[in-house]
C-alpha cells in the first residue's frame, strides 16, 4: 500500500486551520488567536520525562511570553484524559530545577487521530510513526507561519531561544530591520541591504552616529533595549 505523502507547511504560508478539543476547551485555530503571536508546539507523549521538563519550563515562562503578546498551544497524539491526568501529576508531584507546583494553563490539544500532527508535518517516520517530534511553529497575528524549528524525540528544546525568536521577529517587523547572529534586545540590528548604487553611496558617506557601515551591504544601527521592549512588550 502506497504511503500517503503530506507536505509540510512552509514559512510565509497561512497556518493550516483546524478545530480541536484541548485541556482548555475547544479551539478554532488560528482564528481564535487573531491579533496575537502564537507558538504551536508538539511533544511526543504524556508521562514522559523530557516532555515533562519542557511543559514545566513553558508553563513557568508563560507570563513572559504573554507579555510579548504570544500565546502558547501544545499538542500530542494522546487523549484528553491522559493530558489532564499528566498535567495534574506535574502540578502535584514533579519538582525540577526549582520549579514545583507548576500549573499548565495553556491549552494542550488532543490529537488521537493525528490529523493536526499530519497537517503540520509533525510526524517523522524516521523517528516514530506513532509520536510527534518536537516541532515548533511561530505564527504571527495574521496567522502566517514565521518560524519553524524541529527537534528529535531525545532533545529537549531551548526555551530562551524560543523567546528570543519571538522578540526578534517582532523587532524586525516593528523597526523594518533584520537581526544578526545571537541578537538580543539592545544589540545592534542590521539595516536592510541597499537596493541601488545611490543608496549604497549615501550610506557609506553618512554621518549618522547611530548607523555604522562596514561596507555597502553590511550596515548596522543602534536601537537601545528600552526602545525595543517598549514597542514590543505589553505595558
Supply the residues annotated as catalytic.
51
Instruction: Locate 200 and state its grid cell.
Output: 549604497
Q: Taking the alpha carbons of 161, 166, 168, 169 in that order, is the dihedral positive or negative?
A: positive
Peptide bond into 27 cis (omega under 30): no
Q: In whole angstroms, how far apart are CA 85 and each of 11, 47, 127, 134, 136?
A: 35, 9, 26, 21, 24
Distance (Å, whole) CA 225 – CA 160 = 17
How do beta strands 134-139 and 95-96 pair? Answer: unpaired
Q: Are 198 and 172 in contact (CB under 8 A)?
A: no
- The strand pairing partners of 39, in sequence order, are 72, 138
The angle, 0 to 180 degrees and rounded to 10, between the axes of the packed helices 159-175 and 225-232 is 90
The DSSP annotation for 18-56 comes to EEEEEBTEEEEETGGGTTSEEEEEE-S-TT-HHHHHHHH
Closest CA to 153 of 75, 42, 57, 3: 42
Q: Is 134 annotated as a binding residue?
A: yes
Residue ranges at the known binding site: 134
Binding residues for substrate: 134
Amino acid at each position: 500500500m502506497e504511503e500517503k505523502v503530506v507536505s509540510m507547511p512552509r514559512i510565509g504560508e497561512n497556518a493550516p486551520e483546524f478545530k480541536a478539543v484541548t485541556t482548555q476547551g475547544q479551539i478554532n485555530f488560528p482564528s481564535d488567536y487573531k491579533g496575537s503571536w502564537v507558538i504551536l508546539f508538539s511533544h511526543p507523549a504524556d508521562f514522559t520525562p523530557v516532555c515533562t521538563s519542557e511543559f514545566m519550563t513553558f508553563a513557568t515562562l508563560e507570563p513572559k511570553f504573554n507579555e510579548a503578546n504570544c500565546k502558547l498551544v501544545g499538542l500530542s497524539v494522546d487523549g484528553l484524559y491522559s493530558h489532564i491526568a499528566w498535567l495534574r501529576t506535574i502540578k502535584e508531584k514533579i519538582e525540577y530545577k526549582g520549579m514545583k507546583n507548576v500549573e499548565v494553563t495553556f491549552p494542550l490539544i488532543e490529537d488521537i487521530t493525528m490529523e493536526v500532527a499530519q497537517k503540520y508535518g509533525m510526524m517523522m517516520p524516521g523517528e516514530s510513526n506513532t509520536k510527534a517530534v518536537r516541532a515548533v511553529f511561530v505564527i504571527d497575528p495574521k496567522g502566517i507561519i514565521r518560524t519553524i524549528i524541529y527537534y528529535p524525540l531525545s532533545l529537549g528544546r531551548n526555551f530562551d531561544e524560543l523567546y528570543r525568536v519571538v522578540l526578534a521577529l517582532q523587532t524586525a517587523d516593528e523597526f523594518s530591520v533584520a537581526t544578526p547572529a545571537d541578537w538580543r534586545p539592545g544589540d545592534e540590528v542590521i539595516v536592510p541591504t541597499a537596493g541601488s548604487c545611490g543608496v549604497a553611496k549615501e550610506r557609506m558617506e553618512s554621518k549618522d552616529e547611530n548607523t555604522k557601515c562596514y561596507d555597502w551591504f553590511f550596515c548596522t544601527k543602534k536601537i537601545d533595549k528600552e526602545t525595543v521592549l517598549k514597542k514590543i512588550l505589553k505595558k
